[in-house]
Amino acid sequence: MFYARDIYGQTLVELGKKNPDIVVLDADLSGSTRTKLFAKEFPNRFFNFGVAEQNMAATAAGLASCGKIVFISTFAMFATGRAWDQVRNTVCYNNFNIKIVASHAGISVGPDGASHQAVEDIAIMRAIPNITIVVPCDGPETKEAVIAAANTPGPFYIRLGRAKVPTLENKKTFKLGKGYVLEDGNDASIIACGMMVKYAQEAAELLKKEGISARVINIHTIKPLDNQIIIQAAKETKGIVVCEEHAVVGGLASALDDIVLENHPVKVLRVGIKNRFGQSGEIEELFKEYNLTTKDIVKTVKEVLR
Amino acid sequence: MFECKKYSAEQIKKLESTAREVRRLIIKMLAKAESGHPGGSLSAADIMTCLYFEVLRHDPKKPQWPDRDRFHLSKGHCCPVWYAVLAKNGYFPIEKLWTLRQLGSMLQGHPDRRTPGVDVASGSLGQGLSVALGMALAGKMDKKDYRVYCLLGDGEIQEGNIWEAAMAASHFKCDNLCAILDYNRYQIDGRVDDIMNLEPIQAKWQAFGWYTIEIDGHNIAQILSAFEEAKTIKEKPSIIIAHTIKGKGVSFMENVVDFHGRPPTKEEETRALEELKD
């Protein structure tokens, strides 16, 4: 079990030791996002902007124009929502080397409630050209994603949660833009990102006991999407269930639908947040309330095969 | 009282003549494009001429020279004046000016990195001071002695992002950052005082921790002196509050709000060029 943000902070320190061009910015949440680990190690390469996310994002562009690799962090809500125009016009239009690594995405934020639970962030980032979007499923994958972002020119959005997450088994080597099969199967496909990958794995286990063979795919890179693995799943299985801790509008499911429709139409059903805001509660309660549990995935797979 | 003795009367006269030529280029460019923003380009022409022909440490043959002074146009819609001084400096051929706003042109309707000399795009107002702040922080971090200049519009500073950047620039003691406010007192919808009053403007910037210099933004000697004075200020950023006239130099455009975003017609172009003759 790891906090992805712990791994993020530690990885930043490792990267900072190797590359003097790495600069980190935060907006008064360096304790929560763990950029404070970098701040402690490299005080001259860390800037806290206070509660001013728009300024942080546009300042990152000025730094990047001078050759810096700039990581900016705050909660997903504010990094993508509050600073959207800055991210669109000043980060992405300039195609700068800026890595937005946001924590506290999704309803797994828990008790803080709807104002802090970003469930539209992938949708609003995905609409912008030039940006790469990664949603890691666990601690080790977070590390790989952050390293890949540092080594790949251009803007990135890496989406992390607040909660401690288990480390997954059977993972393949992380390759940007490439999904991979975690469990093979040929009745239905379950395609998931982030925290939902673990539940997808559990759902496949339960389905197996009922004689249903489900393929589980971890699709950590939402943009650019791995079309090939999706088309293959559409061709080789009878239907697809997409699982994301995000609104069903504009996220992974929407992106996947486009590919399936254009290439090999099959039935696609969604496990995600359906046109609702989040609310306060413990993670398990919330996942139940918003139908994001293992049981919900099992049910939806049966539906897709009906 | 700061005294600047660096420039001779002759140098000043030459810059005045260059500024007139810059204005002629703006008029021709916009008449050809049949769209664009003359008012705020003309009000900033003297400031931009001083920057690009006297103040900035730069090399048009090496636009990416790491030690160059940085300039960022936060009021991006006034790019015609930027394009004019860049072309006249040799960043690209003058003929390119006649492609402004055309499909595939290196001169987009708002600044874009495809133009040699443009480091960061702009156009969505209120973000440029942050961009300049980032450049200033990078300079400090890298222990470089370049300075960063940023031209702001007056309507533009109604954006909240400007004041976030203002707070941060003084917090981080960016004395290598100098902003210039083109205070022509007009915005698209009318007089700034009527739409959303900025006064007391000097007190606002001072309260945010900035060193302020107020000048007549069409007086070359005052502009040059202000830039020299700003260089002497330590531990805080400076802002030159330049009182200007929207549409300056063309009588029928001066203080006429319609010319914020309307280009001159063919006939108006001829009249304007006649008035701007050297």
Residues A142 and A259 in one domain: no
Question: Residue A59 is nearest to which of B66, B119, B134, comparing CB atoms?
Answer: B134
Residues of B in contact with A93 (CB under 8 A): 121
**Residue where a domain terminates, one of A105, A140, A165:** A165
List the 82-111 stretch of A: residues with Cβ below 8 A of B.
85-86, 88-90, 93-95
Give A-chain residues touching B127 at CB under 8 angstroms: 54, 58, 61, 85-86, 89-90
**Do A154 and A187 share a structural domain?**
no
Q: Do residues A98 and A191 both lie within one domain?
A: no
Domain CATH code at residue A230: 3.40.50.920
Whether A170 is in a domain gets the answer: no
Looking at the domain that runs over B9-275, which CATH code has it been given?
3.40.50.970
Please check whether residues A18 and A146 belong to one and the same domain: yes
Q: Is A174 inside any structural domain?
A: no
Is the domain of A37 the same as that of A70? yes
Residue B249 Cα, gap to closest chain A Cα (Å):
33
Residues of A belonging to the active site: 53
pLDDT number for residue B4? 82
B223 close to B16: Cβ distance less than 8 angstroms: no
CA of B136 to nearest chain A CA: how many angstroms apart?
Answer: 8
Do residues A204 and A282 share a domain? yes
Same domain, A21 and A128: yes
**Final residue in a domain of this structure, among A105, A131, A165:** A165
Q: Are residues A204 and A142 in the same domain?
A: no
Is residue A172 one of the residues assigned to a domain? no
Q: Is residue A143 domain-shared with residue A14, that is, in the same domain?
A: yes
With an 8 Å Cβ cutoff, are B120 and A61 in contact? yes
Say if residue B6's pLDDT is above 90.
no
The residues pairing with A217 across neighbouring beta strands, listed in sequence order, are: A181, A191
Residues A23 and A154 in one domain: yes
Contact A63 B168 (CB under 8 A): no
- Count of domains observed in chain A: 2
Contacts B137 to A, Cβ<8 Å: 47, 59, 62-63
In this prediction the pTM is 0.97
Among the candidates A165, A195, A213, a domain finishes at A165
Secondary structure letter of residue B100 according to DSSP = T
- Give this complex's ipTM: 0.97
Q: What is the pLDDT of residue A129?
A: 98
Q: Is pLDDT above 90 for A74?
A: yes
Q: Tens digits of per-residue pLDDT, B64-112?
A: 999 999 999 999 999 999 999 999 999 999 999 999 999 999 999 999 9
Question: A158 and A25: one domain?
Answer: yes
| pLDDT tens figures, A265-306 | 999 999 999 999 999 999 999 999 999 999 999 999 999 999
HEC readout, chain A: CEEHHHHHHHHHHHHHHHCCCEEEEECCCHHHHCCHHHHHHCHHHEEECCCCHHHHHHHHHHHHHCCCEEEEECEHHHHHHHCHHHHHHHHHCCCCCEEEEEECECHHHCCCCHHHCECCHHHHHHCCCCCEEECCCCHHHHHHHHHHHHHCCCCEEEECCCCEECCCCCCCCCECCECEEEECCCCEEEEECCCHHHHHHHHHHHHHHCCCCEEEEECCEEECCCHHHHHHHHHHCCEEEEEEEEECCCCHHHHHHHHHHHHCCCEEEEEEECCCCCCCCCHHHHHHHCCCCHHHHHHHHHHHHC
Q: Which domain holds residue A242?
A: 180-305
In a domain, A175, yes or no: no
pLDDT tens for each residue of A198-234: 999 999 999 999 999 999 999 999 999 999 999 999 9
Structure token pair of residue B126: 């209120």
User: Are A9 and A149 part of one and the same domain?
Assistant: yes
Residue A198's Cβ-side half-sphere holds a number of Cα atoms within 13 Å equal to 15
Is A90 part of any domain? yes
Domain spans, chain B: 9-275
Report the pLDDT averaged over residues A230-251: 98
Burial of B267 (0-12, 13-18, 19+ CB in 10 A): exposed
